[in-house]
């Protein structure tokens, strides 16, 4: 299918009616719906679906740089590029194939990209939807140049929540984090679970591979499983920053929370011929199920 600007989008559906929509602009997942048709990712009502900027919502890919610490544009160029579809992708691993539909998108650097980041790579993004509705993103980045390069990376995941003040994250307690609101100073998380009452912009370091985001009001828990992604970005712009963003509604900070599987503090170094894999799996379970454990 096409989006508003004629850019191709791929829609994956499972037999129960869940769906995932991926745009070739940015290789960005723009929608993920459960089998009741409920949208699980946040998209701003003011989002601009037009290159060269990433649409505000869904899951933009931050590569080869996260944030603005580096020589590149904020969050790197991958989210602003037009990706291509691999019509003959390598088969899905037999152990992993059960009822899955998937698409492989590819990104190779353009001449412009090479001017600002002179490293030849191939980026394969596999987006898959399982029979049980889980969404998996697997990024494979290969160095096809003659010298090593470094990068940081994030799946900038905009979760849709009912009311940010009713949400908590479990799995990050007691971890160290870098606070983007304090010149990336390092702190240690003290609380039991992370809750929200003001702007938050942090990179939690060396986190466990499973994180839960509990939405009390909707009785819904997002379960985030990740591999190769030690850090977790937690971001909510809150009122003042929300008002300053052109492509974001003034009150929309209440309905979203970014929780990103990422690798930021210790960037990856890839030698010629080497490949890195970062995997993110998103699932949703009823909250009561999680609370019992």
164 binds ligand BG6 (CB under 6 A): no
243 binds ligand BG6 (CB under 6 A): no
Residues 6+ apart with CB under 8 A from 14: 35, 99, 101, 129, 130, 131, 133
Size of the site for ligand BG6 (CB under 6 A): 9
Site string for ligand BG6, 31-70 (x = CB under 6 A): ------------------------------------x---
Output the smallest distance, CB 180 to ligand BG6, in A. Answer: 5
Which segments of 117-270 does DSSP mark as H helices, in order? 238-244
- Give the closest residue to 253 by CA, choosing from 44, 49, 33: 44
| 61, 233, 242, 257: which one binds ligand BG6 (CB under 6 A) | 233
SS3 content of the chain, % helix, strand, coil (to 5): 10, 45, 45
Of residues 172 and 233, the one with the C-beta less far from ligand BG6 = 233
Contact 97, 176 (CB under 8 A): no
205 C-beta neighbours (distance < 10 Å), count:
18
235 binds ligand BG6 (CB under 6 A): yes
Contact set for ligand BG6, span 66-125 (CB under 6 A): 67, 74-75
Contact set for ligand BG6, span 182-201 (CB under 6 A): 201
Element (H, E) at 106: strand 101-107
For residue 151, what are the β-bridge partners?
A: 268
Of residues 107 and 258, the one with the C-beta less far from ligand BG6 = 258
25 binds ligand BG6 (CB under 6 A): no
The structure tokens listed for 32 are: 């993920």
| 30, 128, 143, 180: which one binds ligand BG6 (CB under 6 A) | 180
List of residues contacting ligand BG6 (CB under 6 A): 67, 74-75, 156, 180, 201, 233, 235, 258
């Amino acid at each position: 299918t096409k989006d508003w600007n004629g850019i191709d989008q791929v829609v994956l559906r499972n037999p129960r009616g869940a769906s995932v929509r991926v745009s070739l602009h940015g290789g960005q997942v723009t929608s993920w719906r459960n089998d009741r048709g409920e949208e699980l990712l946040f998209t701003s009502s003011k989002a601009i679906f037009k290159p060269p900027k990433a649409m505000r919502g869904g899951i933009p890919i931050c590569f080869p740089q996260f944030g603005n610490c580096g020589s590149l544009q904020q969050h790197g160029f991958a989210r602003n590029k037009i990706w291509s579809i691999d019509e003959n992708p390598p088969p899905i691993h037999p152990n992993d194939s059960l009822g899955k539909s998937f698409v492989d998108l590819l990104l190779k650097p353009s001449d412009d990209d090479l001017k600002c980041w002179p490293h030849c790579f191939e980026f394969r993004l596999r987006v898959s939807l399982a029979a049980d509705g889980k969404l998996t993103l697997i990024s494979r980045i290969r160095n096809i140049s003659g010298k090593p390069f470094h990068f940081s990376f994030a799946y900038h995941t905009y979760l849709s929540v009912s009311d940010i003040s009713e949400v908590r994250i479990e799995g990050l307690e007691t971890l160290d984090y870098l606070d983007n609101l304090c010149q990336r100073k390092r702190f240690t998380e003290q609380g039991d679970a992370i809750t929200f009452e003001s702007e938050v912009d942090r990179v939690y370091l060396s986190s466990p591979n499973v994180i839960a985001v509990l939405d009390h009001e909707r009785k819904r828990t997002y379960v985030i499983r990740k591999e190769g992604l030690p850090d977790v970005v937690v971001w909510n712009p809150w009122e003042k920053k929300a008002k300053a963003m052109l492509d974001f509604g003034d009150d929309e900070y209440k309905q979203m929370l970014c929780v990103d599987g990422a690798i930021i503090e210790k960037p990856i170094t890839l030698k010629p011929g080497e490949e890195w894999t970062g995997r993110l799996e998103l699932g949703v379970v009823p909250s009561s199920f999680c609370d019992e454990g």
